[in-house]
Amino acid sequence: MVLLLAVFLVFGALHLRIAQLQLLEGSHWRRMAENNRLRRLPLAAVRGRIYDRRGHVLADNLPTWNLLLFPDEARNLGETVLFVASLGVSEASDLHRRVNQRGIDRLAPMVVGENLDWEQVTRIRAHQSDHPELSVVAGFRREYPLGPATAHAVGHLRLVSQEDIDLDPQLDPNSRVGAIGIEALAEDFLSGRPGERWVVVSAVGRQLGVVRESSSSSGKDLAVTLDAELQQIAAEALGERSGAVAAIDPRNGAVRVLYSAPSFDPGLFSGKLSPEDWKRLAEDPRHPLQDRCLQGTYPPGSTIKPFLALAALAEGVVSPDWTVQCTGGVVLYGHRFRCWRRWGHGMVDLSRSLEASCDVYYYQLGQRLGIDRMALWLEIFGLGRRTGIGLPSEAAGLVGNPEWSRRVRGTPWYPGEAVSVSIGQGPVLTTAIQLARAFAVLANGGRLVTPHVVVDPDNPSPVDLALNTNDLAKINRGLELVVHGEHGTARSLARLPVAGKTGTAQVVRLTEGIDSDDLAPHLQHHAWFVGWAPIDDPRLVIALVVEHGGGGGSIAAPTAAAIFSAALDEARESQASQGPGE
Amino acid sequence: MEHRIDAWLILAVVGILGASLVTQNAVTEVVGTQLLARQLLWACGGMLTLLALSRVRLDLYARLAPLVYIGGLAALVAVLFFGEIRSGTRGWFAVGPLTLQPSEFARVATILMVAAWLGRRSGGGLSAKEAAVVVALVGATAGLVALEPDLGVTLTYLPVAVTALWLGGLPRWAWIGLILLAMIIGFGAWHTVLKDFQKERVLTVLDPERDPYGHGYQVRQSKIAVGSGGVAGQGVGHGSQSLLRYLPAQHTDFAFAVWAEATGFVGATGLLLGYALMLYRIGMAAAVAENRHGLVLAILVGSWLAFQVVINLGMVLGLLPTTGITLPLFSYGGSSLLSTCAALGVVQSVWRHRLVNQ
């Protein structure tokens, strides 16, 4: 019968199809079945903690729930996106964009929610059978107990970039790495290696068992040289003002404080940074993201004077007994250069020049030294070049000279500029960490240390600058008088065993007849104080700059006082000798 | 004069039912043991029905056909008002703990009616009016099923109508016209009636990788299940596709995939042979029928069952779009099983009342 024959022909075709699927393509489909049921889950490696020198936690990990999306398992990604958005863990538009912009790694799981609360977790679990593509996994969220007080120094995290993955294909594209600060500097040490777990998963997303697992290896904990308490005191001392505090141990260069104001909450970067938060940070006119300790370059002002004095003594262009008559100004190259003290200082010797910060003395001293020797010596003290602290994005600053002027600026060098340089103005820019390091040379008897936040045998050892100890002692005596002398510019610190130098960095040049107090706030001078304590056994150098803070003596020195007095607390010091990081 | 029942057909049916129960047993992890118990019950009831109906005299089927047909129509109308809704289809009566699906039984009633009508008339090909009667008889019940709406079951009425018209005899121009009409209706339906998901199902057959995690998901998982069965299968109750629930509708539409995954090429071939044997024996019954009524009855039942087997396997094997048509005697479902057994019982009546000298 025709009908029966036709039916059998069709049956034959079906049978051929079965043979094709089962016999010819059997192994292919079996592999597909394996892929179906096996799922790779990344196991987050616990990032190492960061401790300060006394064991206070600077960076910690909080356990948290994250939501993973396996895009290949989703039946309808659009619907999944809406479901995830309805949980409030992510924005639909943002999620849509990420889902659509998946790269080569289309099928890799992606983190679509972080830091889920318990209610969100239970809601996902309740809808697990509708959404087998979603998986709640345990993770860690980076936490910074001191928050803004250590934001720039300790740093924060960021999502790995495509470049990071190109360099290290093993990286989980959902993981985070250090973006700035110690987090970035010690990334390899802190990060550990993520593991992976292959689990059998049913179509409704239930994990039925582990097939194989390579455990993650945790990152190592790191003790750094920072002092959490001093960081906080520095943050309090600067308060609402913009500025920077860099403090190092002059004996070895161990960094105790790196605080930049205004600061921000580094924990914002541990999770998904909302566009609003990012906008607020990036567009803040006070630039909280900038690290003023390492990236803020300012004219050093009068804080440059001890180094020029040392240079002049070393070069033999002046003797310690050399004196200058200060009448409140001097005419050089047909231009009158004023002393900050309008009515002058009278007879000024080396010691008095530092104590009272006489500008005219240094105009004359600079004339004798000449710009090339000034520039050379400033660089010997580490000014205008990177300190090698190791933290990312350190600025070099600048020490100008005629050659630089031709090559970089493309204009000839004006002799008057050398006059400005001799009081730390004009084409000379330094960072707070550079000045801290330069003053450490004075405090430790002539050795140039390399600032560092991590104690490492590979850290460069101090370089002896072979300075004349008598010259050094004379300079230091002058710096002691700055605080304790009758004419000192930092007498507000007199109750503390501190030696140092104030500085006032002009933002604009003052013309005759205009007083600095008349300037608009954003044109006000930057105020410096750089000094060390205790005087005879220096253990801490602080370089502090207050942006638009007016005079160094009136603003910067009192601010430094708070930090010095905390640092000098005997009880803390005895404790510190037992702590790590020495 | 009555002959003995056809042992070959009984063998095929028992074999298929046995394989079905093995499969239902394998998926109890997923769908529960209750369904297995019910299916066992239905299988026994089905066999009894088959045996009982094979004893009924053939002419009685012709005489009772209008009554059964009207009963079927009434049930289909009633279910539209009083039926239970399952996944959007109002097609079930609740009878105690069980549910009955009148659309399955109405198909048998329709076959009885069409066969009775075609068996009574004599002479050459169908006139236009007579053809219209055949179409109307099938169309009435099929139309009511379509209202539920149950696309899968409605489609199974199609081979009944086409085979009836073919048996009645239509001139060649009428066939050409019908094919053209079908193409026009198909084209029209594509642009109007068919919903997007139904179109996607058709397109998925043409391009399986079109949307593997959306509309192609079921068929893809089904192919994975069948393919991973390999030569000898993964063993009953060990198929990962089935156990881990990747396979959809595994006790109903995709039950064959569970079987193929568990028993491999060997088992799949065996089951296919079972259906071939069953259809061959139905064909034999038609060949020896004592009258035209018996012939038409057997062929209509055979073409319906063949259609359903081919469409279901075509779907499971990824050759035809997903339609929700079950595999007769194999997929879970009491109404389907009972009505299929009833139809086979009627075919056995044809076999038993064949002419003596054959």
Examine the domain organization and report whether A378 and A453 are in the same domain.
yes
**A323 within some domain:** yes
**B253 within some domain:** yes
Q: Say if the Cβ atoms of A33 and B228 lie within 8 Å.
A: yes
**B358 within some domain:** no
Q: B-chain residues within 8 Å CB-CB of A17?
A: 317, 319
Q: A-chain residues within 8 Å CB-CB of B243?
A: 202
B238 touches chain A (CB under 8 A): no
Q: How many independent structural domains does chain B possess? A: 1
Taking the C-alpha atoms of residue A49 and residue A138, their distance in angstroms, rounded to an integer, is: 18
| pLDDT value, residue B358 | 44
User: Mutate which of A9, A17, A18 to disrupt the B interface (most B C-beta within 10 Å)?
Assistant: A18
Six token digits for residue A430: 């330094």
Examine the domain organization and report whether A568 and A550 are in the same domain.
yes
**B2 within some domain:** no
Q: What are B75-88's pLDDT values in tens digits?
A: 999 999 888 888 77
Confidence of residue B177 (pLDDT cuts 50, 70, 90): confident
A528 touches A560 (CB < 8 A): no
Query: Which of A14, A34, A75 is opposite residue B272, by nearest beta carbon?
Result: A14
Examine the domain organization and report whether A204 and A305 are in the same domain.
no
DSSP state of A334: T
Examine the domain organization and report whether A203 and A301 are in the same domain.
no
Tell how far CA A580 is from the center of its chain: 21
Examine the domain organization and report whether A340 and A219 are in the same domain.
no
Examine the domain organization and report whether A327 and A356 are in the same domain.
yes
pTM of the model: 0.63
A578 touches A235 (CB < 8 A): no
Extended beta strands in A26-133, E state? 38-43, 50-51, 57-69, 110-116
Q: How many independent structural domains does chain A possess? A: 2
Burial class (CB in 10 A: 0-12, 13-18, 19+), A118: exposed
**B111 within some domain:** yes
**A72 within some domain:** yes
| pLDDT value, residue A550 | 74
Q: Is A302 a catalytic residue?
A: yes
Q: Say if the Cβ atoms of B246 and A14 lie within 8 Å.
A: no
Domain span at residue A543?
Answer: 228-273+291-576
Q: B-chain residues within 8 Å CB-CB of A208?
A: 244
A110 touches A94 (CB < 8 A): no
**B1 within some domain:** no
Taking the C-alpha atoms of residue A48 and residue A26, their distance in angstroms, rounded to an integer, is: 48
| pLDDT value, residue A570 | 55
Chain A: closest CA distance from residue B96 (Å):
31
ipTM of the complex: 0.85
**A582 within some domain:** no
Alpha helices in A199-265 (DSSP H): 228-238
**B241 within some domain:** yes
Taking the C-alpha atoms of residue A369 and residue A303, their distance in angstroms, rounded to an integer, is: 18
CATH number of the domain at A68, please: 3.90.1310.10
CA-CA distances (angstroms) from residue B206 to A22, B191, B199, B216, B275? 20, 18, 11, 11, 27
Ranges A293-307, A394-408, B25-39: which has the least confidence: B25-39
Examine the domain organization and report whether A200 and A319 are in the same domain.
no
Taking the C-alpha atoms of residue B102 and residue B144, their distance in angstroms, rounded to an integer, is: 11
Rg (CA), chain A: 32
**A13 within some domain:** no
B280 touches A4 (CB < 8 A): yes
Of A205, A223, A241, which residue is a domain's last? A223
Examine the domain organization and report whether A259 and A187 are in the same domain.
no
Six token digits for residue B306: 């063949």
User: Mutate which of A29, A79, A207 to disrupt the B interface (most B C-beta within 10 Å)?
Assistant: A29
Q: B-chain residues within 8 Å CB-CB of A74?
A: 213
Query: Which of A8, A17, A26 is opposite residue B230, by nearest beta carbon?
Result: A26
Six token digits for residue B178: 């019908």
Q: Say if the Cβ atoms of B313 and A14 lie within 8 Å.
A: yes
HSE of B76, CA atoms in CB hemisphere, 13 A: 28
Examine the domain organization and report whether A425 and A535 are in the same domain.
yes
The answer for residues whose C-beta is within 8 angstroms of residue B218's C-beta and 6 or more apart is: B248, B249, B254, B322
Examine the domain organization and report whether A303 and A412 are in the same domain.
yes
**A7 within some domain:** no
A301 touches A311 (CB < 8 A): no
pLDDT at A43 over 80: no
Catalytic residue among A302, A351, A357, A492: A302
Examine the domain organization and report whether A121 and A94 are in the same domain.
yes
Q: H or E stretch including B98? A: strand B98-100
**B317 within some domain:** yes
Examine the domain organization and report whether A200 and A257 are in the same domain.
no
Angle among Cα A361, A364, A365 to the nearest 5 degrees reads 80
Chain A: closest CA distance from residue B330 (Å):
17
A82 touches chain B (CB under 8 A): no
Q: Say if the Cβ atoms of A75 and B213 lie within 8 Å.
A: yes
Confidence of residue B115 (pLDDT cuts 50, 70, 90): very high
Residues B175-187 have a mean pLDDT of 85
**B78 within some domain:** yes
Q: What are A240-288's pLDDT values in tens digits?
A: 899 999 999 999 999 999 999 899 999 988 887 888 888 998 898 889 9
Taking the C-alpha atoms of residue A379 and residue A307, their distance in angstroms, rounded to an integer, is: 10
Chain A: closest CA distance from residue B318 (Å):
9
Residue A209's DSSP bridge partners are A200
Nearest Cα residue to A378 out of A339, A351, A416, A418: A418
Query: Which of A33, A72, A204 is opposite residue B240, by nearest beta carbon?
Result: A33
Residues A398-417 have a mean pLDDT of 90
Angle among Cα B313, B302, B69 to the nearest 5 degrees reads 115
Domain span at residue B17?
Answer: 7-352
| pLDDT value, residue A582 | 39
B99 touches B333 (CB < 8 A): no
CATH number of the domain at A446, please: 3.40.710.10
**A561 within some domain:** yes
Confidence of residue A166 (pLDDT cuts 50, 70, 90): confident
**A24 within some domain:** no
Nearest CA in chain A to B167: A3
